[in-house]
Amino acid sequence: MGLDMWLVLGLLVVTVVLFITERLRMDVVAILVILALILSNILTPEEALAGFADPVVLMIAGLFVVGGALYQTGVAQSIGDLLARIGGQSEARLIVLIMLGVALLSAAMSSAGATAVLIPVAVNLAWRAKISPSRLLLPLAIGSLVGGLLTLIGTPPNLVVSNELLRHGLSPFGFFTFTPVGLLILVLSIGFILTLGRRWLPSRDRSGEAESVGVEGNVTLDELVQTYRLPGNLFRVRVRPSSPLVAMSLADADLRARYHINVLERQHWPEMQGAPEQAHPADPEMVIEAHDILHLQGEAHDIARLTREERLGLLPHLQDDDLLNAQEMGMVELLLPPRSLLLGQTLKALRFRDRYHVTVLSARRGGEPLATGNLATMPLRLGDTLLVAGAWRDIRLLQEERRNFIVVGLPREMLEAQRTPRRAFVAGGIMLAMLALMSLEVLPAVVAVMLAAVAMLLTNSLTVEQAYGTISWQSIILLAGMLPLATALQVTGGVTFIADGLASSLGQIGPVAVLAGLFLLTALFSQFISNTATTVLMAPIAYQAAVRLGVAPQAFLMAIATAASTAFATPIATMSTTMVMAPGGYRFGDYAKIGVVFQGLTLMTMLVVLPLLFPF
């Protein structure tokens, strides 16, 4: 046991601690791992940076683009609409419908994307059936994770374990190799939720949110206004020629800081001749001119002070359907997930409007709207939802920000503007062609995915900017940084050391006991750090354990992938479990009861099934 091995094992421990404590971003930790391996001369620069050229990394990046195109063109949303149309009143039937629908989506796109599409659908189905959304949203998250086991491309851990076989000269897992295991786990998860798990699904009273979901599964702009109780806070004023605001830009006027008021739109009215122009979204650089009509949002007493001090004329109160020019401006809800850099900070300190070019109109915490007067100075918390308004082009850019917040559904007006039957047909056809190439093994999987990603761009299913935005660069850098750590564990003997420990202890009982140990270790780590990073570290250990025992490695690797995709015993285990926490009103214990018991059932099932499907 050399010094290099202990250095790498120590680096592994430090990495896991940093992941769990979140003292640094995970992608930053991954870069530090690369630097540490280079500076310690454990790996050469070429070896340490090889992760960025790994086929798995390129394939995952391409799959992000393909999934983004399905989202942008409305293919994914169409599946959600179909579920909304056929949903009945039976809670059991709705659970089955939601879990099957999201699993189907997750087999071809990211689980987080599939969950985001179907959250408003699930809430809408719940209100139609007069049940609490919390009865459907956790099954939705579980179905999205389990659905990733249906195909090779369903989730990154599948690709990681398949690549481990390829690296050692063995045949990789095929496109449908995971399908029998995935179908079994999906059936198990649905059966578990319908029986024992259903008793533990909370029935949180979210009756105040019934109006927040439209009849077709997506909110409308008017429904968002009602949900956040905005109508009483919307006003119109006319800028008098004597106003000190004339010739000032909105940024210089700084009405948000001075009066706690948001400027939403401006209607230009030169010299009050004829009718005012169509309203346009406010821009910080927009210069205020005499006779302009400003659409404002704020408290009545702040509006009164503004009109008095800035010599503005108050116009008749805005009606709901006059709120926004929906052709150019809209609203959307943003959910703050774990590890968001916005947590604990204020909108004022973040310069949120300058950074994202949208205005925060209101916020909800624990299902209740917060007072708008102190939004700028209110520290943001996990699970807060922000209602923002801005130009559609800026709202589309918000969809590309995956680290700091999640766009929870899209207003129906925006979806209708995005959808065209031709784009959806083309994107769906490209996806099916990619699946055919991969399943028939006509081309290497990475080539089929890259071809599909390029085809999505060439057919305008999404723009280049949208394509870059759909890629979770944190995930890509994390994976590229963890692969060299796995390499370092191998070249220094760390993998062999850990594998020998498993083989000498649990191996005395038999390979099934080692399989159980690998499953439990993967499940534990996946509750607190990325399941992809966990799989990258565990895959070579599983392979070497199989070598030490003299058995085939496929069952061990499949156990790791299964454990990584059924890790939902904490709300921070995956993005999907986090996304449903606020709309479902869930608590930590809700996840623990269902997640721990289900992983126990999954483990027992895998101990029986995997040796049969993949004999030792």
Confidence of residue 138 (pLDDT cuts 50, 70, 90): very high
The tokens for 543 are 């392979």
Residues 6 or more apart in contact with residue 399 via CB below 8 angstroms: 407, 410, 469
| Predicted pLDDT of residue 18 | 81
| Residue written as token pair 């030169």 | 270
Least confident range of 285-289, 423-427, 567-571, 582-586 = 582-586
Least confident range of 141-155, 396-410, 509-523, 589-603 = 396-410
| Residue written as token pair 């999404």 | 462
| Residue written as token pair 């709901």 | 320
Per-residue model confidence as pLDDT tens digits over 188-208: 999 999 998 888 888 865 444
Least confident range of 244-253, 320-329, 355-364, 427-436 = 320-329
| Average pLDDT over all residues of the chain | 79
What phi and psi, each to the nearest 5 degrees, are found at residue 326?
-65, -15
Confidence of residue 187 (pLDDT cuts 50, 70, 90): very high
Domain boundaries, the chain: 63-209+419-473, 220-408
Angle formed at CA 16 by CA 15 and CA 20, multiple of 5 degrees: 120
Is there a contact between 122 and 105 (Cβ–Cβ < 8 Å)?
A: no
Residue 604 has pLDDT above 90, yes or no: yes
Is there a contact between 86 and 61 (Cβ–Cβ < 8 Å)?
A: no
| Predicted pLDDT of residue 568 | 84
Give the mean pLDDT of 494-510: 74
Residue 573 has pLDDT above 80, yes or no: no
DSSP-derived letter for residue 171 is P
Counting DSSP H helices and E strands in the chain, the numbers are 30, 10
Per-residue model confidence as pLDDT tens digits over 34-65: 999 999 998 899 888 888 888 878 877 887 78
| Predicted pLDDT of residue 207 | 44
| Residue written as token pair 């609490």 | 132
Residue 308 has pLDDT above 80, yes or no: yes
CA atoms lying within 13 Å on the CB side of residue 35: 7
Distance CA 583, CA 335 (A): 10
The tokens for 69 are 């195109």
DSSP-derived letter for residue 48 is H
| Predicted pLDDT of residue 271 | 67
Residue 324 has pLDDT above 70, yes or no: no
CATH of region 220-408:
3.30.70.1450
Is there a contact between 220 and 411 (Cβ–Cβ < 8 Å)?
A: yes
Confidence of residue 322 (pLDDT cuts 50, 70, 90): very low
Distance CA 335, CA 94 (A): 25
| Predicted pLDDT of residue 498 | 73
Q: What does pTM read for this prediction?
A: 0.61
Most confidently predicted of 172-176, 418-422, 559-563? 559-563
Confidence of residue 598 (pLDDT cuts 50, 70, 90): very high
| Predicted pLDDT of residue 297 | 77
pLDDT above 90: percentage of residues in the chain: 15
Q: Count Cβ atoms below 10 Å from residue 608 Cβ, excluding itself.
A: 9
Is there a contact between 161 and 519 (Cβ–Cβ < 8 Å)?
A: no
User: Dihedral of the CA atoms 85, 91, 93, 96 (nearest 10)?
Assistant: 100
| Predicted pLDDT of residue 402 | 63
Per-residue model confidence as pLDDT tens digits over 225-261: 666 656 556 788 888 888 999 888 888 888 877 887 8
| Predicted pLDDT of residue 232 | 55
